[in-house]
Amino acid sequence: MEDISYAAATEVIEARFRQVESLHLANTPPQVTREIEAACGTVFDSNTQAYREALLGCLVAKFVNPQINIRQPYVDQGETAFSGRTLDEKVVNPFLQLAQVPSSKGPYLSVFRRSVQFNELTRAGLRDKAGYDAFLQILGYAEAAPSHEAIDNLLNYVLYRFVLLREQARIEIARLPRMSLAQYDQLIAGLLARASGGRMPVILVVAMLRTIRNAFKLEWEIQFAGINVADAAAGALGDVTILEDGRVLMALEITERPVEASRVQATFRSKIATSGVVDYLFMVDRTRVAPEAYEEARKYFAQGYEVNFINVATWIPMSLATLGAAGRVTYNAQLTELIEAPGVPNTVKTGWNEEVLKLTSS
């Protein structure tokens, strides 16, 4: 029997799943041949969940130990066999459950006969033969892969299909009735560190603006553009715009990218000077703001325009401290409402759930 490090297998699967979540949010799937794409489509469309779960286990085993015979998932089948059941119980199933991917509750080998080998002889006893044929096709590709990088890419694509599968599911949002300031610090830092395609920072900011509006009974209209839609194309002055009686009070650009002087100049010319906005706020990690960008903002200030920079991770906790316990309850409600909104990817929702659940275990 060939050995598998289950800790290494867990690390591999978790790290690559984070990568493919980011790829999904950017709508850039890993590139594979049309034949593999079609075969994966058949496997993932099959009502036999065990096919896709067994496929994931085999690919992880092959990645961690290339000497393994991925067609022999029982240790007594040969010197290069592996324990598919143990790999499923220790790695695959716990991962799928934690990632909230629809999956079997028991080991995937339970749907096959005892001491099954993944070959053509097994086909006769299975109900979904087309799904099994596609499963074997992918195993054959993995066995003939010319390099470790090819296995890596195939594994990434299969994990990408699990992300797509999760997008079809209904994800229930985790809730805490209230959170302390220290818990909010942890939650916000965790959420901002997760890949969200830019969605999470906007959600955090909009929830706070709504909370401030409610707390002080302001007549604000808070508009925010669709994520990953160019501001110019969407007709927006920034990611978020605050209006009162139809007049723009403030425009906010929420960004994770560095802010250089050229970006401030372009924003001034295309959005500020031409629209009459006198208060423009870049919400950005201030360590990513170039000194020249501050100098540009100083020049515009002298001309009557407010162009400022603030860190989301600083502004929200300070606002929560100022608004008191009642404000924190409102913010909690606003956050969960925005997270649950139609169109928010399940990757963002499951990221939220993981960060909330961390608060209960720390």
Terminal-residue alpha carbon distance, the chain: 39
> How far, in Å, CA of 265 to CA of 272, rounded?
10
Q: pLDDT confidence of 108, banded at 50, 70, 90?
A: confident
Residue 226 pLDDT > 80, yes or no? no
> What residue type is 215 in one-letter code?
A
What pTM does this model have? 0.89
CA-atom Rg of the chain in angstroms: 25
> How far, in Å, CA of 162 to CA of 16, rounded?
12
Helices 34-45 and 49-64: angle between axes, nearest 10 degrees: 130
Each residue's pLDDT tens digit, 147-201: 999 999 999 999 999 999 999 999 999 999 899 999 999 999 999 999 899 999 9
> How far, in Å, CA of 17 to CA of 249, rounded?
41
